[in-house]
Chains A and B, each alone.
Chain A
């Protein structure tokens, strides 16, 4: 028996931050169940894998095969299933990121293992195995019991803190047999070299109050001062002021940063649905009646074109 954690790798061969969260989470769970925590990695890695032991994993199974060079949900899940079966894993942990969302359900069907996706806390393993997840687009939580011997969890980004400790993992090669991937990756385009939105700890977001794409410079400056990623409301993406991948909300991405700064966004329920798990929300809006103030921790009622540059200056001053 073991908890097996999927270690997800960026194109440049480094471990994704969301995987460090999954490693910490899976290791804590393994401790609770008194079983070892192990990792599995499929893509080429440039980092020192043994060092991931500091997040609590004792063994990392490394698969190195040409067929797994690029992500393919079918080939990857087949490889992970083989490692899980060989190591007798009873819980599989993924990050609820783009790869985890493709892999965990395939493995659930393949291994007949109950899946809870988007977990926000460690399972209650006492009576049954119950996992808390966010539902209704962040407007509620559900406690879901997994009834199968093998269980799968995907962990929401930023829901569980990364806690490095001491230790080194034993990295062992693992052999699997996978057929050639049916999905051929033609190209990978990174829109930004910065922190991906879903992983960002701070996010600065703009709405229709920004009036047009030409005004985004003041938000970029604020984001740079805060070391934050950029996001936007749906009408902004619909009008092509900003790329679709920055759209957050019910039909866009769901994020849970430590700090969310909403500028010129009314705070419609569908927008809140994607950001209401943020730890601290700051709202800048000239309308004191904007619904966002009800969900905010801090607010400024004022014209964003005056407030934002002043705020950026104040942050820069504070930092220096």
Chain B
């Protein structure tokens, strides 16, 4: 079984969000880059668990990005990926990224393509669906559980207020959500092994950008908290009713 896990590079969750060039670019000064948590904790770890259950399975990682991605790719290899492909292209929109991933997938042929449910920077939740469409494969989004029985997968996916259990034949594209797996920390053996695992850099194929970011903005600052004494909860109720008008 061949599994492709898509990993993207995102600013660390505590990174300060600021913009430069007249609010047209994200300010990367001092930003620490990490593997997008949804890709790492859920997609990659579940793929590793599947490989642990089936020794013949192989995990390829794909990242679309510049050389700065290499550090997070090595970390993903240390966690348990077998080899990685970096498509050397930057600043693409989600369709551009999906086109590159779909191309890599077509060239190599995978039984399973896993991604995180969304990136924590652009919160698009788009690449998975696009990849599935470009490959004409079924797509299960927001998966919270994934079990494999031969070539049939039983997948639980989140729906509003509950969950849905579905069955699908491989190959399939799955976007992974909390519940799929638990975060792991790479160990020394993994880190040493990752140094010699293949990281192939390929050039992008031609793909159109369908959208472009014009400007960014920060939300308006909050006015500040109004504190109410703990033995005067009636005052809070009054404020919520009369001032905030939410009850």
Which residues of chain A have a CB within 8 Å of any CB of chain B? 10, 16, 18, 71-74, 77, 96-99, 101-110, 112-118, 130, 133-148, 182-192, 194-199, 202, 226, 237, 244-245, 247, 250-252, 254, 258-259, 269-270, 273, 276, 279-280, 282-283, 293-303, 306-307, 310-311, 313-315, 318
- C-alpha gap A23/B93 in the complex (Å): 27
* Interface residue SS majority, chain A: mixed
CB pair B218–A106 under 8 Å, yes or no, is no
- C-alpha gap A105/B87 in the complex (Å): 21
State whether A145 and B214 are in contact (beta carbons under 8 Å apart), knowing that A112-B208, A192-B161, A299-B225 are contacts in the complex: yes
Chain B 84-128, CB-CB to A under 8 Å as 1, else 0, gives: 000000000111001000000000000000000000111111111
CB pair B123–A141 under 8 Å, yes or no, is no
Instruction: Choose one: B93, B133, B142, B244; the contact of A106 (CB below 8 Å).
Output: B133
Instruction: Choose one: A117, A237, A280, A310; the contact of B240 (CB below 8 Å).
Output: A280
Instruction: Choose one: B142, B178, B208, B218; the contact of A98 (CB below 8 Å).
Output: B142
B47-55, B57-65, B226-234: which lies at the interface = B226-234
CB pair B215–A142 under 8 Å, yes or no, is yes
Further contacts, 4 of them, CB under 8 A, given A139-B218, A143-B214, A143-B216: A107-B133, A115-B95, A259-B244, A297-B244
For residue B205, give the distance in angstroms from its CB to the closest CB of chain A: 15
Contacts of A114 in B (CB 8 A): 93, 95, 210-211
Contacts of B215 in A (CB 8 A): 142-143
For residue B158, give the distance in angstroms from its CB to the closest CB of chain A: 6
- B154's nearest neighbour on chain A, judged by CB, is A186
For residue B228, give the distance in angstroms from its CB to the closest CB of chain A: 5
CB pair B120–A294 under 8 Å, yes or no, is no
CB pair A318–B225 under 8 Å, yes or no, is no
B72-80, B165-173, B196-204: which lies at the interface = B165-173
- C-alpha gap A296/B165 in the complex (Å): 38
Instruction: Choose one: B158, B159, B160, B225; the contact of A294 (CB below 8 Å).
Output: B225
Chain B 3-21, CB-CB to A under 8 Å as 1, else 0, gives: 0000000010110010100
For residue A123, give the distance in angstroms from its CB to the closest CB of chain B: 12
For residue A157, give the distance in angstroms from its CB to the closest CB of chain B: 9
CB pair A250–B120 under 8 Å, yes or no, is yes
Which residues of chain B have a CB within 8 Å of any CB of chain A? 11, 13-14, 17, 19, 37-38, 41, 93-95, 98, 120-130, 132-134, 136-142, 144, 154, 157-169, 178-179, 208-219, 222-223, 225-231, 233-234, 236-237, 239-241, 244, 246-247
Contacts of B132 in A (CB 8 A): 73-74, 106
- C-alpha gap A190/B219 in the complex (Å): 35
CB pair B127–A183 under 8 Å, yes or no, is no
CB pair A194–B161 under 8 Å, yes or no, is yes
Contacts of B213 in A (CB 8 A): 142-145
CB pair B169–A182 under 8 Å, yes or no, is yes
CB pair B211–A273 under 8 Å, yes or no, is no
- C-alpha gap A270/B98 in the complex (Å): 27
Instruction: Choose one: B138, B139, B161, B222; the contact of A196 (CB below 8 Å).
Output: B161
- B13's nearest neighbour on chain A, judged by CB, is A270
Counting chain B CB atoms within 10 Å of each CB, the highest count among A143, A185, A297, A310 belongs to: A297
Contacts of B122 in A (CB 8 A): 135, 142
